């Protein structure tokens, strides 16, 4: 039996190099970049003020205090967005705003709150501290009283201190999050090359399955189909595009028809159910009849058996097979099948551990691991089985990890309570207080 890591390695090795496309930055969140993106500008692009106030020479105001203000001559005004070509001389100040370029000659900005502009009714400098602070008078001439000393370069945001032109902003293989998008936008990236996303057919097999639509009633022996609803958002979360197919009854023909259509229309096909050893399990045989090659792995994990990974190389299509004609394929290229078990928890966990990495790697992502955090077991958790058990757990706000409840592979209520999985080795009891790694899916 393959270890999980070996199975993932084999799957990833089969995934081809990604194809690229150019898209606007506004559409790039969640996409994997195909190129190293270098900063085309320094950030900030020029020295600018961190506050609303007055640009000064620090040496002019070194002695300023509320009791002994320094009087400077106001010689100009620079709103944000304006280019100022003048220069500040000794004894002068310039009205300036957050984000305004710092004028030549100035080496500090005094906050507006530490200044006072004389009004008609009080033409002389104030003698007592505090009074009149923060008064907003917008004019470009007259005197300004500076009520506090400032150090050289105070309240100035320096040209290039955030990003230097030419430095790498993102490496190829990075999946863009909102923070990356902000950085790229700030350096003027409007369009970028990303890797294509796979379309993923999602097929549920089982004659017992009923579509959960409003007003639907279960006949005896039926259950509501739940795997496609759970897997579609997990597929979307990788950046791939799920395409939900109708429920497939357990017949060879229906299974072959559904797979044929899915393989023609999508890059990757994910099925759930119908991959066991029973005579009603048609996924494997249908895929082979269509020319696919199966690697049927018993991966040593619980929940998870059985799981099927297969490839269909369009060029090596069985000529006797008319079900999937290469000329009919709307999406050319090598196709992949992930046959997940039908039990809802098995489908969920095998998707996360075996299919998710492949969907990310198809898009060229370097990091295909599930997000993980650390926690401390609040109680012992045992795995009497000879396979590793990915146990549903609930991590509380203090990082204490509890079992989410019954762990059988059909029990959805404990999955709904869980916010992570922990990997419990075979024939092992992890004692309370053990530090564990928790895998997350959202």
Binding of ligand AMP by 29 (CB under 6 A)? no
Cβ nearer to ligand AMP, comparing 211 with 433: 211
Count of residues in contact with ligand AMP, rule CB under 6 A: 16
The distance of closest approach from Cβ of residue 278 to ligand AMP in the complex, given in angstroms and rounded to an integer, is 7
303 binds ligand AMP (CB under 6 A): no
Task: From 112-120, 155-163, 194-202, 224-232, give the range in contact with ligand AMP by CB under 6 A.
Answer: 224-232
Task: Give CA angle at 111 (107, 117), nearest 5°.
Answer: 105
Distances from the Cα of 1 to the Cα of 246, 299, 301, 426, angstroms:
33, 6, 10, 14
Contact between 306 and Mg ion by CB under 5 A: the answer reads no
| Sheet of strand 293-297, all strands in order from the earlier edge strand to the far edge | 241-244, 199-204, 268-272, 335-340, 307-312, 293-297
DSSP string, 37-65: EEPSS-BSSS-EESSSEEEE-GGGGTT--
Query: Rounded to the nearest whole angstrom, what is the least distance from the CB of residue 9 to Mg ion in the complex?
Result: 29
Instruction: Quote the distance between the C-alpha of residue 37 and its chain's center.
Output: 18
DSSP code per residue over 88-117: --TTEEEEE-TTPBPPBT--EEEEGGGEE-
For residue 272, the minimal CB distance to ligand AMP (Å) is 5
Contacts of 27 (CB under 8 A, 6+ apart): none
Size of the site for Mg ion (CB under 5 A): 4
- Window contacting ligand AMP (CB under 6 A); options: 119-127, 221-229, 390-398, 422-430: 221-229
Rounded Cα distance between 84 and 42, Å, is 19
Determine phi and psi for 389, rounding to 5 degrees. -115, 120
Cβ count within 10 A of residue 117? 19
Nearest-CA neighbor of 28 among 180, 144, 151? 180
Torsion, Cα of 80, 85, 91, 94 (10° steps): -20
Cα separation, 440 vs 442, in Å, equals 6
Which string of x and - marks every residue 187-206 that binds Mg ion (by CB under 5 A)? -------------------x
Q: Which of 101, 172, 198, 274 binds ligand AMP (CB under 6 A)?
A: 274
207 binds ligand AMP (CB under 6 A): no
- Answer yes or no: are the C-beta atoms of 301 and 422 closer than 8 Å: no
Draw the binding track, 309-348, toward ligand AMP (x: CB under 6 A; -: no contact).
--------------------------------xxxx----
Site membership for Mg ion, residue 273 (CB under 5 A): yes
Q: Is 415 in the site for ligand AMP (CB under 6 A)?
A: no
The answer to the question of residue 304 lying near ligand AMP (CB under 6 A) is no
Closer CB to Mg ion, residue 272 or residue 439? Answer: 272
Complex with Mg ion: residue 173 or 273, whichever CB lies closer: 273
Q: Residue 185 touches which of Mg ion, ligand AMP, none (CB < 5 to 8 A by kind)?
A: none
The backbone torsions φ and ψ at residue 267, rounded to the nearest 5 degrees and listed phi first, read -85, -35
Tally the C-alpha atoms within 13 A of residue 421's C-alpha that lie toward its C-beta. Answer: 24
The one segment of 21-29, 125-133, 273-281, 428-436 that binds ligand AMP by CB under 6 A? 273-281
Query: Residue 420 and residue 167: Cα distance in Å, rounded?
Result: 37
Binds ligand AMP by CB under 6 A, chosen from 69, 206, 242, 304: 206
Distance CA 5, CA 207 (A): 34
Of 227 and 238, nearer to Mg ion (C-beta) is 227
Which option in Mg ion, ligand AMP, none does residue 242 bind, with CB closer than 5 to 8 A by kind?
A: none
Q: Which is nearer to Mg ion, 347 or 438 (CB)?
A: 347
Q: 32 or 352: whose CB is closer to ligand AMP? A: 352
Binding residues for ligand AMP (CB under 6 A)? 204, 206, 208-209, 223, 225-227, 272-274, 276, 341-344
Binding residues for Mg ion (CB under 5 A)? 206, 273-274, 342
């Amino acid at each position: 039996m393959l270890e999980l890591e070996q199975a993932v390695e084999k799957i990833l090795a089969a995934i081809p190099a990604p194809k690229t496309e150019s898209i606007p930055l506004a559409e790039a969140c969640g996409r994997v970049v195909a190129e190293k993106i270098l900063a085309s500008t320094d950030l900030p692009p020029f020295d600018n003020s961190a506050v609303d106030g007055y640009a000064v020479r620090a040496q002019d105001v070194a002695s300023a205090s509320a009791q002994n203000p320094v009087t400077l001559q106001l010689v100009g005004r620079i709103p944000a967005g304006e280019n100022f070509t003048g220069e500040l001389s000794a004894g002068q100040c310039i009205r300036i705003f957050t984000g305004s370029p710092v004028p030549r000659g100035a080496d500090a900005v005094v906050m507006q709150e530490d200044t006072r502009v004389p009004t008609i009714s009080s033409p002389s400098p104030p003698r007592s501290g505090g009074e009149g602070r923060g008064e907003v008078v917008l004019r470009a001439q007259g005197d300004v009283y500076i009520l506090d000393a400032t150090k050289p370069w105070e309240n100035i945001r320096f040209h290039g201190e955030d990003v230097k032109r030419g430095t790498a902003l993102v490496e190829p293989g990075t999946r863009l999050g909102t923070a990356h998008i902000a950085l790229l936008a700030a350096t003027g990236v409007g369009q970028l090359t990303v890797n294509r996303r796979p379309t993923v057919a999602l097929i549920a097999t089982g004659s017992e399955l009923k579509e959960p639509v409003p007003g639907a009633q279960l006949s005896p022996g039926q259950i509501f189909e739940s795997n496609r609803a759970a897997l579609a958002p997990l597929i979307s979360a990788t950046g791939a595009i799920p395409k939900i197919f109708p429920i497939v009854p357990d017949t060879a023909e229906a299974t072959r028809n559904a797979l044929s259509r899915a393989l023609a229309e999508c890059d990757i096909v994910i099925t759930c159910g119908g991959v066991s050893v029973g005579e009603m399990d048609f996924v494997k045989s249908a895929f082979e009849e269509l020319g696919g090659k199966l690697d049927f792995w018993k991966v040593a994990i619980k929940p998870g058996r059985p799981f099927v990974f297969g490839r269909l190389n369009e060029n090596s299509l069985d000529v006797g097979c008319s079900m999937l004609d290469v000329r009919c394929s709307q999406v050319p290229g090598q196709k992949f099948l992930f046959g997940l078990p039908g039990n809802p928890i098995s489908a969920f966990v095998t998707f996360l551990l075996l299919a998710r990495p492949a969907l990310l790697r198809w898009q060229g992502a370097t990091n295909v691991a599930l997000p993980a955090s650390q926690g401390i077991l609040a109680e012992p958790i045992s795995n009497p089985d000879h396979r590793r058990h990915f146990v549903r757990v609930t991590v509380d706000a203090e990082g204490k990890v509890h079992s989410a409840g019954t762990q059988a592979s059909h029990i959805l209520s404990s999955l709904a309570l869980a916010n992570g999985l922990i990997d419990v080795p075979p024939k092992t009891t992890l004692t309370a207080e053990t530090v564990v790694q928790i895998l997350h899916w959202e």
